[in-house]
Chain A
C-alpha cells in the first residue's frame, strides 16, 4: 500500500522534473543578441601633401 506521503513526494518530484526540463529547454533556445560596434572617430589622422608644377614659356612681347 502506497502511503500519501510517498505519492505526494512522487508528484513533487515529477513537478520539479518538468519545471527543470522546461527551464532547460527555454534557456537553451539561442537568443539573438545584436552586436554593438563602436566606431571611434580617428583623431589626429595625419595629412599628406604632394606637389606638382605648372610651367609656361611666355613669348616676349614683340619676340
Chain B
C-alpha cells in the first residue's frame, strides 16, 4: 500500500513539476511558436496633374474684367495623383506689361470642383477663398487636398482686368502649381 502511494505521489509530483516547467517556459516566452515581423514601406507620393491647364479669356478690351467663377472660361483644375494629402501653392509670371505681378489686375483664388468637396475649405486659414493678387513666388492657396479619387481635384479661379494703359495684342502668363506633403490628413 505504501509503495503504491509513494508511486502515485511521485507521479503527481512529476506532473506538477512538468506543469510548472510549462508555465515558466510560457511566461518567459520560451514556446514552440515562431513569430516574425514583416515590414512594408509605402513611399509618399505628391504627384499632381492638370485636369484643366489652360485658361483662355479670348478677346478683351481695355478696362474689361472677366473671371472663371462662371466656368466661362473654365478654371484651372489640379488633381492630386499621389497617395498623401497635399498643399498646393501657386505663382505665375506677369500677364500684363504695364501691371506686373502682384497686381489687382490679375488675381486668383481656390474653388471647389463639382463632386470634390474637399478641394477648397473655407474653414482653413491656409486656403485662399477670396481673390488675391497673383504672387511671383510660390504661395499656398489650397490646404489638405485629399488623394481619394472622389475628392482629389481642386480648382483655381482666375480673375483678370485689362489695365487701362495696356497695349494691344496677345498676353500670356505661365502659372505654376506646386504640391507639398501635408501632414494634416
Contacts and interface: CB of A to CB of B under 8 A. Distances in A.
A50 B76 CA distance: 11
Contacts, number: 172
Given A17-B19, A20-B17, A58 B178 contact: no
Contact of B62 (A6, A51, A54, A59): A59
Interface string B168-180: 1111111111111
Nearest to B62: A61
B53 A50 contact: yes
Contacts of A21: 19
Interface stretch (B1-9, B111-119, B124-132, B144-152): B1-9
B123 interface: no
B10 interface: yes
A55 B1 CA distance: 111
A18 B176 CA distance: 77
Contacts of B174: 51-53
Interface in B13-27: 13, 15-20, 22-23, 26-27
Residue picked from A3, A6, A18, A48, most chain B C-beta under 10 Å: A48
27 contacts: A1-B1, A2-B5, A3-B2, A19-B16, A20-B20, A20-B22, A24-B22, A27-B27, A42-B44, A45-B44, A47-B178, A49-B179, A50-B176, A50-B177, A51-B53, A51-B176, A52-B50, A53-B175, A54-B106, A54-B160, A56-B170, A57-B60, A58-B60, A58-B61, A58-B166, A58-B167, A58-B171
Interface of A: 1-3, 6-7, 9-10, 12-14, 16-21, 23-24, 27-28, 41-42, 45-61, 63
Given A10-B5, A50-B53, A57-B59, 4 more contacts: A1-B1, A13-B9, A52-B175, A54-B172
